[in-house]
């Protein structure tokens, strides 16, 4: 089966793996993955482990398609923003992607759609690829509001983006009830949501751009459930939390994505 675009398999380490453990994990992942010419891999460590991951990747042969991402940043150039990290600082460290609006940022840190929109625009302006996360809660799905909730998050998060910039976007659909719970959404349900996201992107940016934007699924994706998800037409990869912390499980997902591309 041949997909219309390269899969992106992204690992979100969250607040795990300190810099002293990062090299071992990266080397282990790269060793287990081997050559995967048809998949883009992204590792998003905590800020303090970014330099170690960067150094490890530069010393590994065959790690060219492993990219470095961050889990957050603050959308200002510099200044009195105690505790924050700027996009320029991330770019300097070789970071190419940044996760924006993960449900943990929305709920635990009160990040609202206005701030997330500012982050998406700022990331694009500084050549960071934004991975905008959207997702409904269990309650919202139970009340049949999931499509409306996701559309609202997307319209706010993507406000003011020009069509020419939009093709650099990555969207991650992460139903909140499936994150870190072991509860994975069934492939047909995910595909239905991805299709409605694609339709909205079409309305916002036109068919060609919408078709080129990667829409990842996130929520307890593992080696044993990723194949059926990745086979769906509008699922262009995964944003993986728990399973990205173990080299074997993350490498297995990457290898499955590579096989599906052949
Ligand atoms: C995530 O944090 O983005 C995520 C999808 O986590 P998990 O894979 O552990 O559900």
Would you say residue 2 has pLDDT above 70? no
Sort 93 into a burial class: Cβ within 10 Å, 0-12 / 13-18 / 19+: middle
Contact 207, 228 (CB under 8 A): no
The two structure tokens encoding residue 14:
């969250």
Q: Are strands 97-100 and 66-70 parallel, antiparallel or unpaired?
A: parallel
C-alpha 252: how far from chain center: 18
Instruction: Give the residue from 88, 89, 87, 83 showing the smallest Cα distance to 100.
Output: 87
- Show contacts of 60-63: CB within 8 Å, 24+ apart: 60/26, 60/27, 60/30, 62/30, 62/34, 62/35, 63/30
175, HSE (Cβ side, Cα atoms, 13 Å): 25
Give the pLDDT mean for 240-244.
97
Would you say residue 171 has pLDDT above 90? yes
- Which stretch of 3-12, 141-150, 230-239 has the lowest confidence by average pLDDT? 3-12
Would you say residue 186 has pLDDT above 90? yes
Atom of ligand 1 nearest to the CA of 104: 2
Is residue 219 lining ligand 1, measured as CB closer than 6 Å?
yes
Q: Is 174 a catalytic residue?
A: yes
Q: Is 102 a catalytic residue?
A: yes
Domain-by-domain residue ranges, the chain? Answer: 7-242
The percent of residues in the chain predicted with pLDDT above 70, rounded, is 98
Give the pLDDT mean for 26-51.
93
CATH superfamily of 7-242: Aldolase class I (3.20.20.70)
Report how far ligand 1's centroid is from the alpha carbon of 165 (Å). Answer: 27
Is residue 242 lining ligand 1, measured as CB closer than 6 Å?
yes
Would you say residue 21 has pLDDT above 70? yes
Contact 141, 173 (CB under 8 A): no
Report how far ligand 1's centroid is from the alpha carbon of 15 (Å). Answer: 12
Would you say residue 144 has pLDDT above 60? yes
Contact 243, 250 (CB under 8 A): yes
Provide the pLDDT confidence category of residue 1 given band limits of 50, 70 and 90: very low
- Mention every residue, 6+ apart, whose C-beta is less than 8 A from residue 206: 163
Contact 84, 70 (CB under 8 A): no
Contact 13, 244 (CB under 8 A): yes
Is residue 221 lining ligand 1, measured as CB closer than 6 Å?
yes
The two structure tokens encoding residue 168:
């650099």
Task: Compute the residue count for the chain.
Answer: 262
The two structure tokens encoding residue 148:
């409306």
pTM as predicted:
0.96
What is the predicted pLDDT for the residue at 4? 58
The secondary structure element, H or E, covering residue 201 is helix 187-205
Q: What are phi and psi of 30, to 5 degrees?
A: -60, -40
Is residue 252 lining ligand 1, measured as CB closer than 6 Å?
no
Give the pLDDT mean for 129-134.
98
pLDDT, the chain, mean: 95
Give the model confidence (pLDDT) of 200-227 as tens digits: 999 999 999 999 999 999 999 999 999 9
């Amino acid at each position: 089966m041949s997909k219309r675009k390269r899969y992106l398999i992204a690992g979100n380490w969250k607040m795990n793996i300190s810099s002293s453990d990062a090299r071992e994990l990266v080397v282990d992942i790269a060793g287990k993955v081997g050559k995967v010419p048809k998949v883009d891999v992204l590792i998003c460590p905590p800020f303090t482990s970014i330099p170690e991951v960067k150094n490890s990747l530069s010393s590994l042969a065959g790690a060219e398609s492993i990219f470095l991402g961050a889990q957050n940043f603050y959308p200002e150039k510099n200044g009195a923003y105690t505790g924050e990290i700027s996009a320029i600082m991330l770019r300097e460290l070789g970071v190419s992607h940044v996760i924006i609006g993960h449900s943990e940022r929305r709920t635990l840190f009160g990040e609202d759609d206005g701030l997330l929109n500012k982050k998406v625009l700022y990331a694009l302006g500084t050549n960071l690829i934004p991975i905008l996360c959207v997702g409904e809660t269990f309650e919202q799905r139970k009340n049949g509001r999931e499509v409306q909730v996701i559309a609202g998050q997307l319209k706010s998060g993507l406000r003011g983006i020009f069509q020419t910039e939009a093709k650099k976007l990555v969207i991650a659909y992460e139903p909140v009830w499936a994150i870190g719970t072991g509860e994975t959404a069934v492939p047909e349900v995910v595909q239905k949501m991805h299709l409605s996201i694609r339709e909205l992107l079409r309305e916002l940016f036109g068919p060609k751009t919408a078709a080129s934007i990667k829409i990842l699924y996130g929520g307890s994706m593992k080696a044993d459930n990723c194949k059926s998800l990745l086979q769906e037409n509008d699922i262009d990869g995964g944003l993986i939390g728990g399973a990205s912390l173990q080299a074997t499980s993350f490498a297995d997902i990457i290898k499955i994505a590579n096989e599906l591309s052949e």
